[in-house]
Amino acid sequence: MTNSSSSKKHGQDQPELSGPTPKSHRTKMGKSEDTDKKNLGKKLKDVEISVPIVYGNIAFWLGKKASEYQSHKWTVYVRGASNEDLGAIVKRAVFQLHSSFNNPTRVVESPPFELSEAGWGEFEIVITLHFHSDVCDKPLNLYHHLKLYPEDENSSMSTKKPVVVELYDEIVFPDPSEAFLSRVQNHPAVNVPRLPPGVTLPPPIPVEDASKRRKGDTKDHPLSQWFTNFSEADELLQLAAARQQVYTTQYRQSHL
């Protein structure tokens, strides 16, 4: 979902924003099973790690190049809420397209997690996120309705002004393992809570030299000028920090 007041502005070529105003949403993952987790360290009880994400699609009308069965080119994706690299959390993404497509099950093994196609019809796309073994052993299904046409039927289609539909979500991982938290505690895509008193982590894993690492963020993505700027993402991060602060205060009081 999109909001015209929070979208980036680039001259007169504003994207067609479809859907109602975005609302805060949190998806809490189930706790991972303890089987085969010997190397992950102990679980950190009453601690939550959150990862803000955005998923949706951008569609361009092909204009004079449009045909009966290929009127639009479009890209569907999952990205960090502020375009961070999600590769430290997401291992792969599976996009389930309409059965009329060749090979409708598309697997993307590395970031950026996106898929581009061409067609004429709108349909629901199921995006399944599979996480690294120390993050969560349960996949997450996201449901996105591909939008190609402007919400306003009176709007004229343009080859320069795309239709943009994005939804904001915050994936919450309760009781994370020490290994997971230690690995991502300095990662920009992850909201790491303040730990309860008495809980210490191993030293953070050194981050690989950025010049040697494949760039998986979407900050310089060719479509980034059309991405929605979700200002409420920062507000949600502040709320998450406040929730953790309340927990820490309660924890201290209960141990006085």
How much is the pLDDT for 8? 32
Q: Which segment of 3-7, 20-24, 53-57, 194-198 scores lowest on mean pLDDT?
A: 3-7
Cis peptide upstream of residue 112 (ω within 30 degrees of 0): yes
Q: Which two tokens stand for residue 205?
A: 């894993």
The percentage of residues in the chain with a pLDDT greater than 90, rounded to a whole number, is 48
Compute φ and ψ for 161, nearest 5 degrees: -115, 105
Q: Which helix (H) or strand (E) holds 115?
A: strand 113-119
Classify residue 32: in a domain, yes or no: no
Q: What distance in Å separates the CA atoms of residue 216 and residue 92, rounded to the nearest whole number?
A: 12
Q: For position 92, which CATH number holds?
A: 2.60.40.1970
Classify residue 71: in a domain, yes or no: yes
In this predicted structure, the answer to whether residue 38 has a pLDDT above a threshold of 70 is no
How much is the pLDDT for 165? 94
HSE-CB at 57 with a 13 A cutoff on CA atoms is: 30
How much is the pLDDT for 79? 96
Angle ∠(68,113,124) on CA atoms, nearest 5: 45
Q: pLDDT of 57-113, one tens digit each?
A: 999 999 999 999 999 999 999 999 989 999 999 999 999 999 999 999 999 999 999
Q: How confident is the model at residue 23 (pLDDT cuts 50, 70, 90)?
A: very low
Q: Which domain holds residue 118?
A: 42-193
Classify residue 87: in a domain, yes or no: yes
Classify residue 14: in a domain, yes or no: no
Classify residue 20: in a domain, yes or no: no
In this predicted structure, the answer to whether residue 148 has a pLDDT above a threshold of 80 is yes
Q: What distance in Å separates the CA atoms of residue 147 and residue 18, rounded to the nearest whole number?
A: 8
pTM score, two decimals?
0.76
Q: What distance in Å separates the CA atoms of residue 188 and residue 148, rounded to the nearest whole number?
A: 32
3-state helix, strand, coil in the chain (%, to 5): 15, 30, 55
Which amino acid appears at position 256 of this protein?
L
How much is the pLDDT for 178? 87
Q: pLDDT of 183-211, one tens digit each?
A: 998 899 998 877 777 777 666 666 555 54
Which amino acid appears at position 27 of this protein?
T
Classify residue 83: in a domain, yes or no: yes
Q: How many domains does the chain have?
A: 1
Which amino acid appears at position 9 of this protein?
K
Cβ neighbours, 10 Å, residue 16: 22
Maximum CA pair distance of the chain? 73
Classify residue 152: in a domain, yes or no: yes
SS3 183: helix
Classify residue 85: in a domain, yes or no: yes
